[in-house]
Structure 1
């Protein structure tokens, strides 16, 4: 996991350079790969469903798993779903989900 310690001053210039260079994405992809293998999270032929809430976290998880599926030797199915909640204060990006 990537943690940002908010109790110390953040060098946003360095942070944005890291974002632009893809460093953080590569780091996250590596952590996902470590978790998959380290905890045996996914086996050959598994079917995985990601619930898209409409927030950035679920989109990020789906994107990371889509990219991992392209490069991992483990073959698994990946499905996304969205359960429309009526009590949300934000609107999900329906076009992206579809």
Structure 2
């Protein structure tokens, strides 16, 4: 049944795209917390949480087989440049460093 395998592969790819998109999109919030000295502990917890969540998703996917893991991992890798490009277009060139190093 090649149709079933194709659909399953696309499903794992989409799962990887979703997990990777959430992981990279949360990076913007994480950076905002890192730029504020009082919020750095929160930023470190968020950073750890982002990686643990992505690791947990990939672990669950890996339990479904090697092919599922490879497709999901490809989705994560493809999501990074796509989300960063979308974020760059959304934020625009007006993002600049402030006097204290904070993003404005």
Normalising by structure 1, what TM-score? 0.29
| The structure with more radius of gyration | 2
Q: Determine which structure has the larger helix proportion and give its number.
A: 2
Larger RCO (CA under 8 A, 6+ residues apart): 2
Q: Determine which structure has the larger strand proportion and give its number.
A: 1
Normalising by structure 2, what TM-score? 0.28
